[in-house]
Amino acid sequence: MDITKLKNKKLVEWLQGWIDLCTPDEVVFCDGSKKQYNKIANMLVKAGVFIKLDDEKKPNSYAVRSDVGDVARVEERTFICSKTKEEAGPTNNWCDPVEMRAILCGKQNGLYKGCMKGRTMYVIPFSMGPVDSPISKYGIELTDSGYVVCNMNIMTRVSPKILERIDDGTEFVKCVHSVGAPLNPGDADSTWPCDAKHKYITHFPDTREILSYGSGYGGNALLGKKCFALRIASVQARDEGWLAEHMLILKLTNPKGSVKYVAAAFPSACGKTNLAMMEPTLKGWKVETIGDDIAWMKFGEDGRLYAINPEAGFFGVAPGTSMQSNPNAMRTVNKGNCIFTNCAITEDGDIFWEGMDETPDFCVDWLRRPWKKGSKAKAANPNARFTAPASQCPVIAKEWEDPAGVPISAFLFGGRRAAVVPLVNEATSWEHGVFLGATMASEKTAAAAGVVGELRFDPFAMLPFCGYHMGDYFAHWLKIGKKSGAKLPKIYYVNWFRKAADGHWLWPGFGENSRVLKWVFERCDDKADAVSTPIGNLPKDLDFGGLDMPEADKKELLSCDVEGWKGVIPEIKNHFAKFGDRLPKELNKQLEGLEKRLSK
């Protein structure tokens, strides 16, 4: 493709403007083909960026090691550049859009000026969701990173068709990324170019733009992920009347063959991917994956919310993933066609990370150092990742790419709570369900800064990802519930992490979570009993068949800890106070109602 062959003047001006500012040596249009992917991957192997893994162990797969200063998302360098600070709200870093454009795009000293010198600018036209789905959205990412191109080929749908749609005038999100490491003639390139001292991941919600500079890693650089799919899409969803959420989507089939679809939001380290790919322990029940991270949902003609997974791959945290914790994720990566970032490499050309089922005697760690079994140092970075095609997941549902989406019957919210919160709690109304989502929290552990047991609130698991004022985000959820003719999903709050007073886990988790899903499934059909409590509807009973659990543990899991909840009320009040007069009145009413019910 040649820029001169495009007919859309605005598109051409946008592209040419960035080419003139960044001054790349070459411009390459990406077509999503295996041929182009392999060409770029081979080039990265020759440059020392990619390390080819053994084809018998991990076919067509590569290992990559990042710069030590560029290993994760950088929330403190992530900005929402809305017109006013008030629009960004108290949970986001804000910068005046004019000031940020001057920092990045200033013609004299802007960071983007000449930033791609000596490099290739890749033009990536991509679709978030199946091409031509009414729920999907398009974007173009400009990048000078071949690593980004290969990952975007796995994580999104890259195709000349998308460029054609955009050239015909279809709206698209404008994404620009640079590692910020221009090359002069004769300069030796780094195996992980970046500008670790000047990182900016910036979002302009009013103009639907994402500008990222300095980092080559993950969501900082793969701009279709959290930047587009949540921060910008949440604003699009607010403006257009739909939902863009940090949620997995699973397909649940009962022994009779009846199907329901569930979407679930959990903060990090709460088992989201494990639930999306769960192997149920209950006989005859089946879980299949639609998506493991993000859900976009729009109302169908029948009034139900229909969801798609806007991504085409999994960008999973590697450490802790094993045949015990998530066998289907392991089976997915073992098929190959993956990129492994900051994992260790074994002597036989495979990869390794902490938590795997077998530990090698020797490997080379992510910092390129010899590593032996028993070493105190971590072989893989704690945020090491695998990028894998969703299509090769053994439990991917046949309808995962249905352009119409799948109808959601239930939402699950949850957090890591050692005390107070029961195993599962059903909201009594949509407003009550929004209250549960708005008060999602996890307790801090000894590994985190702060007081052990103190709550860290992460509303709807969207704390780092909502692209506008979170008080308005709550209001948007409440507005969704008032849509005429809407047939809304039921809402539940789950907690797999409850502990007894002596510290033992009350619930085994993993595949046993299917017992909770069974109750949710049957509640959606009004076929399971519940008990009304001050906090919501709890199971009258749960299918504990075959579980060797003390009766006292079962009772504690399914009971309302009134005194414990009274102690949580002040923390919820402090949490809500952050949102000032933008907090919807309905949520304060829900809090007052909870307090009254607990005092009776």
Q: Token pair for residue 118?
A: 């000596």
**How many residues does this entry show for the chain?**
600
Buried b / exposed e along 201-227 (16+ C-beta atoms within 10 A): bbbbbeebbbbbbbbbbbbbbbbbbbb
Handedness of CA 496, 243, 293, 390 (dihedral sign): positive
Measured CA to CA, the distance from residue 324 to residue 296 in angstroms comes to 30
Collapsed DSSP state (helix, strand, coil) of residue 288: strand
CA distances from 62 to 53, 191, 387, 411 (A): 5, 14, 10, 36
- DSSP category for residue 504: -
Of 428, 557, 420, 583, nearest to 491 by C-alpha is 428
Residue 117, judged by CB atoms within 10 A of its CB (0-12, 13-18, 19+), counts as middle
Q: Is 30 a catalytic residue?
A: no
**Angle (nearest 5°) at CA 516 between 510 and 274:** 30
- CA 17 from centre of chain: 31
From the candidates 105, 227, 270, 343, which is the catalytic residue? 270
The one-letter amino acid at 82: S
Measured CA to CA, the distance from residue 591 to residue 1 in angstroms comes to 57
By annotation, the residues acting in catalysis are 270
